[in-house]
Amino acid sequence: MTHGWAEPLLGEEIRRIAVVGAGYVGLPTAAVLSSRGHFVTVAERDKERYQNLRDGLSSNVEQGLDELLNESMAAGRLKVVNSAAAAVVDAEFVFLCVETPQNEDGSADLSFVTGAAMEIGPKLATGTIIVNKSTVPMGTVGLIEQVIGRPDIVVVSNPEFLREGSAIADSFNPDRIVVGASDREAAAQVAKLFCNFQSPVVITDATTSELIKYASNAFLATKLTFVNAMASLCEVVGASADDLVLGIGYDKRIGFEFLHPGPGWGGSCLPKDTAALVAIAKSAGFDAEIVRAAIDGNQEHMKRVADKIRVAVGGEIRGSTIGVLGLTFKANTEDRRNSPSISITQRLVDMGAVVKAYDPSVSSTSAEATDLAHLTVCNSPYEAMKNTNAIAILTEWPMFRELDFVRVRESVATPVIIDARNILDVETLKRLGFSYSSVGRQ
**3-state DSSP assignment of residue 330:** coil
Please report whether residue 160 would count as binding ligand UGA according to CB under 6 A. Answer: yes
List the one residue from 26, 64, 262, 415 that touches ligand UGA (CB under 6 A).
Answer: 262
- Piece of 5-13, 30-38, 81-89, 253-261 that binds ligand UGA (CB under 6 A): 253-261
**3-state DSSP assignment of residue 21:** coil
Q: Are 24 and 332 in contact (CB under 8 A)?
A: no
List the one residue from 99, 164, 210, 359 that touches ligand UGA (CB under 6 A).
Answer: 164
Q: Which is nearer to ligand UGA, 256 or 286 (CB)?
A: 256
Q: Which of residues 179-238 bind ligand UGA (CB under 6 A)?
A: 217, 220, 224
Q: Which is nearer to ligand UGA, 136 or 141 (CB)?
A: 136
> CA-based angle 263:257:162, to the nearest 5?
90
- Piece of 92-100, 160-168, 365-373, 383-391 that binds ligand UGA (CB under 6 A): 160-168
Please report whether residue 62 would count as binding ligand UGA according to CB under 6 A. Answer: no
CA dihedral sign, ordered 223, 226, 232, 233: negative
Number of chain positions touching ligand UGA (CB under 6 A)? 21
Please report whether residue 397 would count as binding ligand UGA according to CB under 6 A. Answer: no
Q: Which is the catalytic residue, given 97, 234, 269, 378? A: 269
Residue 97: active-site member:
no
Sheet holding 376-377, edge to edge: 376-377, 354-358, 321-325, 390-393, 416-419, 435-438
List the one residue from 163, 282, 292, 303 that touches ligand UGA (CB under 6 A).
Answer: 163
- Piece of 268-276, 288-296, 310-318, 399-407 that binds ligand UGA (CB under 6 A): 268-276
Report the alpha-carbon distance of residue 26 to residue 41 in Å, rounded: 11
Q: Are 102 and 135 in contact (CB under 8 A)?
A: no
Please report whether residue 275 would count as binding ligand UGA according to CB under 6 A. Answer: no
Q: At what angle do helices 340-350 and 289-312 cross, to 10 degrees?
A: 50
- Piece of 5-13, 38-46, 157-165, 274-282 that binds ligand UGA (CB under 6 A): 157-165
Please report whether residue 260 would count as binding ligand UGA according to CB under 6 A. Answer: yes
Q: Binding string, 127-156, against ligand UGA, x = CB under 6 A?
A: --------x---------------------
List the one residue from 93, 95, 172, 329 that touches ligand UGA (CB under 6 A).
Answer: 329
List the one residue from 6, 27, 144, 162 that touches ligand UGA (CB under 6 A).
Answer: 162
Please report whether residue 266 would count as binding ligand UGA according to CB under 6 A. Answer: yes
Chain centroid to CA 19: 20
Report the alpha-carbon distance of residue 267 to residue 398 in Å, rounded: 19
Please report whether residue 112 would count as binding ligand UGA according to CB under 6 A. Answer: no
Give one DSSP letter per residue of 244-312, joined into a string.
Answer: HHHHHHTSTTT-STT----S---SSSHHHHHHHHHHHHHHTT---HHHHHHHHHHHHHHHHHHHHHHHH
Report the alpha-carbon distance of residue 12 to residue 116 in Å, rounded: 29
Q: Which is nearer to ligand UGA, 9 or 259 (CB)?
A: 259
Q: Are 221 and 294 in contact (CB under 8 A)?
A: yes
Q: Which is nearer to ligand UGA, 160 or 359 (CB)?
A: 160
Report the alpha-carbon distance of residue 157 to residue 214 in Å, rounded: 13
Report the alpha-carbon distance of residue 313 to residue 323 in Å, rounded: 12
**What residue ranges bind ligand UGA (CB under 6 A)?**
135, 160-164, 217, 220, 224, 258-260, 262, 265-267, 269-270, 273, 329-330
Active site residues: 269
